[in-house]
Structure 1
Amino acid sequence: MNENVDPQQVDAPSPVKPAAPAPPRRRFARLVWAVVLVVAALLAWRYWPSGAPAPDAQSQTASGGPPQTVRDAPATLGDMPITIDALGAVTPLATITVKTQISGRLMEVGFQEGQMVKQGDFLAQIDSRPYEAALALAQAQLAKDSALFDQAQADLARYQTLEKQDSIARQQVEDQQFAVAQDKAAIAADQAQIDTAKLNIAYCRIVAPVSGRVGLRLVDPGNYLQPSDTTGIVVIAEIDPISVLFSTAEDNLPPIAARMKSGAELTVVAYDRTNSKALATGTVSTFDNQIDLTTGTFKLRAQFDNPDGVLFPNQFVNIKLLVDTMSGATLAPNAAIQIGASGGFVYVVKADSTVAVRKVTTGPADAKNTVILSGLTAGETVVVDGVDRLRDGAKVVVRNGGGAAASAPADASGAAPRHKRAQDQGGATPKAGPSSTPSPSPTATP
């Protein structure tokens, strides 16, 4: 260890090294940015002269940008049907499960599966021989009791003669009168047995209780049938006419009830599952007597003529119920109706090719139009396409030729005005002023 080192030299800080010069690449980048700023300043000075802006710039500043391309359509007067849409199920007016009313063996089936039958047509035959034998027995008993009755009446006549001669006791005559009454009652019982046997024989021949379409056979010939059987022989569904059961909200009950009370027939159209094809047209026959508490709806039944069988039992259909029709209403296309924070509004195209925001009160609507209750009159033109970037007072260019901007008359030479020709060529309407350079093409609304 060196003992001759000066302490001042040990504690002294080390000298600071001078900063290294900037690398050549960074100096080149600074030079490039400087050149770009100088060129930008020269271009701004060259193409942005002092003074008032050009006429095109003035018009764009006033309208907030270039004119917007839109399509318009007029509000019209027309009739608006007030309809209710619902989902319904096709329900036969009568569905009968044909069962036997007596016990016996099924001897014959007189129908084909899926056949259309009329009321009273033969369907099935039960073995009637036991009941025919019971009928013969009841008839024989009737003959026997009738003979006893005749004999009792003859004896009573003799007893009454002897009583007048005071040759027989009064009690014997009264006993004979009771015997005659008993024989008369036996004859009545025998007649009832005969009627029962005849009815059973009639039950052996089963006929269709209603007109309709039979389903699949539920039992084959040869089986022993009893009235307690639950399956039955076949099911008949009455399909012409046929009905549709559907439900709607309880709020619709007052207008429907009022219309039906006035004697009007409410038309109902049944559509297929895709809601594109009309299957049948009918009328409302009645509605239920109570509202379903769980759903807040009530049921209606509509009846349809169904000669071709297009409506099938238990088929789901879409229902369109015509409740009323608004005549002479102001109609606007659905695409023109916009919804804002304060409600519905439309953009009205004015004669100076600008649009104005108009608040409207809407009513019923269909697939194309909406009823305007207030805020718009028939004949005014509204924007139906290109409303995304519009605002009150914005300039527009109408492309479909149906608006105010496209309805200017032709000039003296018979040609369309210059701004109309520019629209047809896809350009914007030129601005008036010393500059003849047309303004840039408007940006199409997506």
Structure 2
Amino acid sequence: MKAKPVNVVLAAVAALASLTAIGYVALGRPQLALADTGTPAASAPSAAGKVAAPAAPARGGVPMVRLAPAQRRDVPIELEANGTVVPLNTVEIRPHVTRLLTQVHVKEGQFVAAGALLFALDDRSERAALDRAQAQLVRDHATLADLERQFKRSQELAAQHFISVSAADSLQTQVESQRALLQADQAALRSAQVDLSYTAIRAPSAGRVGAVNVFAGSLVQANAALATVTQINPIAVSFTVPESGLAGLLNGQKAGAVAVSAQLAEVTLKGKLSFIDSAVDPTAGTIRVKAQFDNADTRLWPGQYVHARITLETMRDAVVVPLAAIVTRPDGALVYSVGADQLAQPRKVRVLHAFGKLAVVSGLEGGERIIVEGKQNLKPGAKVRINQDNQDRLVADAGGSTQ
């Protein structure tokens, strides 16, 4: 009889546990369902004891863009290349004869005019030969004069039948022979003068004397290098340009409008195109070009490295936009312009010339506000917001104002 109350107690405990489990399930499932549907639930304490903040809801917004102006201005079409300064004339001074060097008339590094005396060689032998040739010429000239007088008298006597005609003809032959001998004497005299000129070595052109390799009293051998004379003013810059620029170079040269500038440190020198090579280098795909510069102040020096810029032509009143604003698509290029209504509108353009961060385009009138940054995934007519951060930099790059 005592076991019966124990069973009743156990049954009561089991029933109470079942009710507790049913209540937990009934109360917990709605909370999970709310969390799954995105409805915010009560914040629960984290492991650190802090309450986690609810996540911010995502929202769509108006795209933010930065603008730059489409400007009208003159744009020069230029080619840039690295060049080397080369002289128009460099002459190596070498003697024609082996002689004793008697005097050096120049110093190293001296600027000389064309025809200036540089070196003097021992000329005693050449002067003696010249004197002998001059004396021979005078003697033969006198002999010719005597023969001409005799021939004239013989003609008068032959006409009066005092001498035979054959005698007069013989004198005529002697006169003609003497004239030929006189011409030979004149040639010998000129030859002696040439030999004498070899003993006075002169500058073939104006320029600067390089290192002098001999001194007075030295015996110089024929064809031995004595010094060099390099023309400094005017001077040239030699450089190569891609063969794609050949047509513009030729057209500009015909029109006489190809200007060349050489950048040397902080100085820009102006010159003119003087030479285009007759063939393109097939290996490098380039062509050699030279430009001539006035160099009275000797800023340019042979062998010097300079940066050259060639202006082929100038595009007048062209529309210029930042290169970053151009969107390239299979059907062509376009830019997005923004009006007063803050709507982005596509404008088809054609790139005519790109230079640096800018490009010359057709299809715009100039003055439009062009989207430079934030143009990704824009749709025609989309509303935009203008971000003024770094706006001054973009305007400066475009060379204008957004106002």
**8 A Cα contact 1:279 1:311, kept in partner:** no
Supply the AA of the counterpart residue of 1:329: A
SS in 2 for 1:141: helix
Q: Which whole-Å CA distance do the structure 1 matches of 2:41 and 2:346 have between them?
A: 37
Note the 1:233-272 alignment, pairs <5 A.
233-261=226-254, 263-272=255-264
Distance 1:372 1:159, change over 3 A: closer
Question: Are 1:280 and 2:273 an aligned pair?
Answer: no
1:194 is matched with 189
Identity of aligned residues (%): 32
Q: Which whole-Å CA distance do the structure 1 matches of 2:367 and 2:127 have between them?
A: 86
Distance 1:226 1:169, change over 3 A: farther
Distance 1:401 1:146, change over 3 A: closer
1:30 is matched with none
SS in 1 for 2:60: helix
SS in 2 for 1:279: strand
1:130 is matched with 125
2:370 is matched with 382
1:53 is matched with none
Greater CA drift, 138-147 or 72-81? 138-147
Deviation at 1:144, TM superposition (A): 4.2
Task: Flag structure 2 segments of 5+ consecutive residues without an equivalent.
Answer: 1-27, 43-55, 393-403
Question: Are 1:46 and 2:49 an aligned pair?
Answer: no
**8 A Cα contact 1:80 1:365, kept in partner:** no
Distance 1:377 1:223, change over 3 A: same
Q: Which whole-Å CA distance do the structure 2 matches of 1:161 and 1:179 have between them?
A: 17
Q: Which whole-Å CA distance do the structure 2 matches of 1:185 and 1:260 have between them?
A: 54
Supply the AA of the counterpart residue of 2:352: G
With normalisation by structure 2, the TM-score equals 0.71
With normalisation by structure 1, the TM-score equals 0.65
**8 A Cα contact 2:34 2:41, kept in partner:** no
Note the 1:75-114 alignment, pairs <5 A.
75-114=70-109
Supply the AA of the counterpart residue of 1:41: A
Task: Flag structure 1 segments of 5+ consecutive residues without an equivalent.
Answer: 1-33, 49-55, 404-446
2:395 is matched with none
Supply the AA of the counterpart residue of 1:189: A
Q: Which whole-Å CA distance do the structure 1 matches of 2:196 and 2:248 have between them?
A: 55
**8 A Cα contact 2:84 2:303, kept in partner:** yes
Q: Which whole-Å CA distance do the structure 2 matches of 1:295 and 1:305 have between them?
A: 30
Distance 1:165 1:86, change over 3 A: same
Distance 1:397 1:125, change over 3 A: same
RMSD over aligned Cα, in angstroms? 3.9
**8 A Cα contact 1:80 1:364, kept in partner:** no
Deviation at 1:150, TM superposition (A): 5.6
Supply the AA of the counterpart residue of 1:315: Q
Deviation at 1:168, TM superposition (A): 6.6
1:371 is matched with 360
**8 A Cα contact 2:257 2:313, kept in partner:** no
2:60 is matched with 61
**8 A Cα contact 1:357 1:391, kept in partner:** no
Deviation at 1:339, TM superposition (A): 4.7
Q: Which whole-Å CA distance do the structure 1 matches of 2:96 and 2:377 have between them?
A: 78
Q: Which whole-Å CA distance do the structure 1 matches of 2:228 and 2:217 have between them?
A: 19
Deviation at 1:343, TM superposition (A): 5.5
